[in-house]
């Protein structure tokens, strides 16, 4: 009677074990063959500006989780404001006196580390050039973060392409970082052509929205395309959908965290993301290329993006539902900090309005987490 050795079966078992799985690009195998400009990328508005213990739950914070957690959870566009502070370039919200998230190069290094560890993903960075940094200034920050080698360089700096590379092409070429700057004079950018002037390649809908019934699909920027949807669509620029809500008290605007469960939801309630995205898709005869949200984990916003992309098999994402998130409720340390910051801005030459002083001194904790009980 013939005997079969267990060892003889090992090659078959090993072969089965090491068979490569289908590659996922940006968390889905279905996206690999899609053009970068064809799909929808979920964006975290003001990515480095956090409303957590590290900022004393600052009402200027737009996100509950840091950039690394955002990327782990499926965010693929991160934005932030660049300001100059003491001869260095920092990530600051509106002013470095209000919320300073540290040096630009440090934030870029965080993104670089993530790209190092996630080799099948394409990430977009959008920098708001608040203090008019030159291409050379910004390039030096990318160099300091060792991020330049990952950067994609467009075929033209002065016009949007008719088509973009597929995700797989970007991944295979290891040019997995797309960088847009709002704004940057392309005619003066000879040192870093990978830094793309945002409004050469992208148009945006309105971003300053305080009522959930006021979200619009119409172009707002660049100025020459304002309310001209036909020209915007024929320009080959990618449609960028801002979908975050501010709340306004005494002329001051803060990210609206109380309504965000509806703002970012896939359906239900006035101004929900799913309905707004569907409306814009119908108006554009294509899906938005980017959707930018506050508090990305709420909704969850990624559900609408998956629906637009036809993704039902997402892999490799971290679920933030079980992640620790400290309450963003008002603390008196945060309240006092807000008053100190207002005084400091006045000392620096600002002229705060009466409303700002009333806001800082009043007991507004139940509304936005600000004010001191007198």
Domain borders along the chain are: 23-316, 329-374
Q: Are 162 and 236 in contact (CB under 8 A)?
A: yes
Please tell me the predicted confidence (pLDDT) of residue 349.
60
Residues noted as catalytic: 45, 93
Here the tokens at position 145 are: 């973060």
Mean pLDDT of 29-40: 98
User: Is the preceding omega at residue 144 within 30 degrees of 0, hence cis?
Assistant: no
Task: DSSP letter for 93, please.
Answer: S
Given the candidates 3.40.50.720, 3.90.1490.10, 3.20.20.190, 3.20.20.140, the CATH classification of the domain at 23-316 is 3.20.20.190
CA dihedral 154, 89, 97, 206 (to 10 degrees): -10
Whether this model's pTM surpasses 0.85: no
* Phi, psi for 174 (deg, rounded to 5): 55, 30
Percent of the chain's residues with pLDDT above 90? 77
Q: What average pLDDT is seen over the chain? A: 87
Contacts of 65 (CB under 8 A, 6+ apart): 50, 52, 73, 296, 297, 320, 323, 325
Reduce the DSSP state of residue 372 to 3 states and report it: coil
pLDDT tens for each residue of 70-108:
999 999 999 999 999 999 999 999 999 999 999 999 999
In terms of residues, how long is the chain? 374
Please tell me the predicted confidence (pLDDT) of residue 101.
98
The pLDDT confidence band at residue 253, using thresholds 50, 70 and 90, is confident
The whole-angstrom separation of Cα 373 and Cα 360 is 10
């Amino acid at each position: 009677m013939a005997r079969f050795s267990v060892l003889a079966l090992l090659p078959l078992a090993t072969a089965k074990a090491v068979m490569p799985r289908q590659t996922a690009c940006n968390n889905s195998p279905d996206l690999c063959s899609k053009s970068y400009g064809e799909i929808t990328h979920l964006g975290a508005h003001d990515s480095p500006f956090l409303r957590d213990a590290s900022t004393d739950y600052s009402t200027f914070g737009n996100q509950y989780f840091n950039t690394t957690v955002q990327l782990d959870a499926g965010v693929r566009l991160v934005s932030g404001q660049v300001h100059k502070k003491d001869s260095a370039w920092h990530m600051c919200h509106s002013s470095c006196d209000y919320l300073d998230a540290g040096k630009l190069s440090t934030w870029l290094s965080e993104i670089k580390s993530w790209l190092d560890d996630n080799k099948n993903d394409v990430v977009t960075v959008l920098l708001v050039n608040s203090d008019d940094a030159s291409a050379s200034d910004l390039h030096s920050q990318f160099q300091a973060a060792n991020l330049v080698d990952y950067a994609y360089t467009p075929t033209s700096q002065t016009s949007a392409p008719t088509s973009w590379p597929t995700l797989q092409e970007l991944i295979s070429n290891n040019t997995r970082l797309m960088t847009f700057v709002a704004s940057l004079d392309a005619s003066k950018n000879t040192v870093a052509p990978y830094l793309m002037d945002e409004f050469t390649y992208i148009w945006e809908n309105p971003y300053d929205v305080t009522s959930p019934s006021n979200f619009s699909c119409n172009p707002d920027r660049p100025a020459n395309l304002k309310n001209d949807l036909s020209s915007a669509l024929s320009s080959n620029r990618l449609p960028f959908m801002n979908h975050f809500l501010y709340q306004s008290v005494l002329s001051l605007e803060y990210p609206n965290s109380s309504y965000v469960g509806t703002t970012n939801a896939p359906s239900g309630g006035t101004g929900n993301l799913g309905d707004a995205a569907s409306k814009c898709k119908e108006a554009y005869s294509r899906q938005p290329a980017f959707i930018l949200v506050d508090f990305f984990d709420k909704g969850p916003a990624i559900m609408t993006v998956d629906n637009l992309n036809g993704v039902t098999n997402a892999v490799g994402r971290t679920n933030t539902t079980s992640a620790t998130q400290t309450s963003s409720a008002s603390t008196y340390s945060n309240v006092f900090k807000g008053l100190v910051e207002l005084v400091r801005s006045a000392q620096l030459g600002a002229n705060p309005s009466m409303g700002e002083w009333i806001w800082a001194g009043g007991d507004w904790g139940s509304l936005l987490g600000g004010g001191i009980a007198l």
